[in-house]
Amino acid sequence: MNQYESELMIEMLENADYIVIPETDINADIYIINSCAVTGEAERKVRQTIRHIRKENPDSKIILTGCYTQIPRESSEYETLGVDLVLGNSEKKSIVKFLNENGIYSKIDYWREDDISYEMVKDSIAERSRAFIKVEDGCNNGCTYCVIRSLRGTRIRSKPIEVVIKEAEQLITKKHKELVITGLNLGKYGKDIGTNLAKLLNEVSKINGDFRIRLSSINPEDLDDELINIILENDKICNHLHIPIQSGSTSVLKRMGRNYTADYLLGLVEKLRAADPLFSITTDIMVGFPGESEQEFQETIDLVSKLEFSKVHAFRFSERPGTRAAQMDRKVPGNVKKDRVEMLISHSQNVANAYKRKLVGKTTTVLVEGVMNGIYIGYDEYYIPHETNGGIIGDFVKTVILSVTAEGVVSKVAKKQVSND
């Protein structure tokens, strides 16, 4: 979501004749930080970034936007950090109006629940081959640990299908070969406008051109048969899903306010792998949720083995302000959380390697994103990173997988190339 919204700001600034320079270049006049607040660690990194800029370039102006600013804070915190302007999530859409030739206007405004306007990008500057399309914002789920829902709004706001199609067509014209469909609660797309994600995907897939579609992240309970069928049957949609399960323990899931059980997850993955035994599933798992016992943690470890994830993003629970989980007792001590996250990372690596070994000898389609020292890099349809020996940057290449590395796989270009059209 933030990546998409950063692209949007870049596009608007360039259209207004500002020069956008790489974030590694410390000589900017104005910095715009599009922040995250999903965990305490994410917030710490925001503060660290601001301090770094202030130290390296004291005369620059700093604008802070994103979820960090949506959490109510004392204005003295921003002053101490050295932020010149604080903007909410909604203001990203009109970033240019906060700038002038002298720097920035000092206007503080925040996101409003009634703001249902939507944005569109025409190109993706940061990524040459892949492009994000945000189709939905807002979330009406009730996860007890989540602060983001209250920062981005609890009402589902979907972009009309015809607008998504127009945006997708523009991005395909600009030679983006992978469209990543994204939203805060993507599975709820369309509930407010009388449609759904399956119908949207069906329409996007009908656009002419050599491209593929990937979903950014989808909650397990939203994967109904209509959606599963279109994902499995439509060749343009990647056989990869990022399903954030959060825990493998049904009792922990209940306390988290997640609307599914471990058994439901087993059934769901079984359906996907019945159609494609290599169907790739990546996930997010939070450890150390209040009250998480050794037994419950073990249930998560066991489920990770059973679901054979191709990648797990494991992280520690952190208390977010104003959430129900922050009020829960039976807190898990920091050292236990640290041990569990390390254990889960190591276990997940073994599980992912086992998954990748099943791919050895198979032919997959890599979208080449770069080349370094003669090694071509990119992701295939299963979202596995490849190091391969040829191809054209920004284009697809069929490869045969040779071996597994810690990060991904090594492959070679297949002799016979078959078009994706």
Q: How far apart are CA 198 and CA 192, in angstroms?
A: 15
Distance CA 196, CA 217 (A): 15
H or E stretch covering 299: helix 294-307
Complex with ligand SF4: residue 323 or 389, whichever CB lies closer: 323
Q: Would you count residue 143 as binding ligand SF4 (CB under 6 A)?
A: yes
The stretch near ligand SF4 (CB under 6 A) out of 9-17, 108-116, 140-148, 375-383 is 140-148
- Which helix (H) or strand (E) segment holds residue 369: the answer is strand 363-372
Q: Which of 8, 133, 139, 269 binds ligand SF4 (CB under 6 A)?
A: 139
Residue 223 lies near ligand SF4 (rule: CB under 6 A): no
CA distance 215 to 183: 9
Interface pick for ligand SF4 out of 2, 49, 57, 141 (rule CB under 6 A):
141
The one-character DSSP state at 39 is S
The DSSP-derived string for 82-114 is T-SEEB-SGGGGGGGGGEETTEE----B---TT
Q: Are strands 85-86 and 103-104 parallel, antiparallel or unpaired?
A: unpaired
What pairs with residue 284 in β-bridges?
A: 313
CA angle 233, 420, 198 (to 5 degrees): 30
Residue 186 lies near ligand SF4 (rule: CB under 6 A)? no
- At closest approach, how far in Å is the CB of 90 from ligand SF4? 17
CB of 188 to ligand SF4, least distance (A): 9
- CA-wise closest residue to 368 among 383, 357, 378, 353: 378
Q: Please say which residue, 139 or 253, places its beta carbon nearer to ligand SF4.
A: 139
The residue among 83 and 218 lying less far from ligand SF4, judged by its C-beta, is 218
Among 185, 280, 300, 365, contact with ligand SF4 (rule: CB under 6 A):
185
To the nearest 10 degrees (0 to 180), the angle between helices 262-275 and 294-307 is 10
Calpha distance 330→317 (Å, rounded): 13
Least separation, in Å, of the C-beta of 420 and ligand SF4?
32
Query: Stretches 144-152, 169-177, 220-228, 293-301: which one binds ligand SF4 (CB under 6 A)?
Result: 144-152
Interface pattern 203-222 for ligand SF4 (x via CB under 6 A): ----------------x---
- By the 10 Å C-beta count (0-12 exposed, 13-18 middle, 19+ buried), 66 is classed as buried
Instruction: Give whichever of 137 and 308 is closer to ligand SF4, judged by the CB atom.
Output: 137
Q: Does 191 bind ligand SF4 (CB under 6 A)?
A: no
Nearest to 344 by CA among 320, 326, 317, 379: 317
With contacts defined by CB under 6 A, name the span among 7-15, 58-66, 135-143, 202-210 that binds ligand SF4.
135-143
State how far the Cα of 325 lies from the Cα of 318, in Å rounded to an integer.
9
| Distance in Å, CB of 253 to ligand SF4, minimum | 12
Q: What is the smallest separation between the CB atom of 22 and ligand SF4, expressed in angstroms?
A: 30
Residues 148-177 interacting with ligand SF4 (rule: CB under 6 A): 148-149
Stretch that binds ligand SF4, among 99-107, 141-149, 306-314, 361-369 (CB under 6 A): 141-149
Query: For ligand SF4, which is the closer residue by CB, 286 or 401?
Result: 286
Segment contacting ligand SF4 by CB under 6 A, of 60-68, 145-153, 259-267, 358-366: 145-153
Q: How far is the CB of 149 from ligand SF4 (least distance, A)?
A: 4
Whichever of 88 and 391 has its CB closer to ligand SF4, that residue is 88
In angstroms, give the least distance from the CB of 17 to ligand SF4: 36
Greatest alpha-carbon pair distance for the chain in Å reads 63
Q: Should residue 146 be labelled a site residue for ligand SF4 when binding is judged by CB under 6 A?
A: yes
Binding to ligand SF4 (CB under 6 A) within 362-381 occurs at none
User: Can you list the positions of beta strands (E) in 36-188?
Assistant: 61-66, 85-86, 99-100, 103-104, 130-137, 157-158, 178-183
Task: Judge contact between 130 and 56, C-beta under 8 A.
Answer: no
Q: How far is the CB of 146 from ligand SF4 (least distance, A)?
A: 3
User: Shortest gap between Cβ of 107 and ligand SF4 (angstroms)?
Assistant: 28
Closest to 290 in 3D by CA, of 262, 253, 317: 317
Write the Ramachandran bin of 17: left for phi over 0, alpha for psi from -120 to 50, otherwise beta.
Answer: left
Chain residues in the site for ligand SF4 (CB under 6 A): 139, 141, 143, 146, 148-149, 184-185, 219
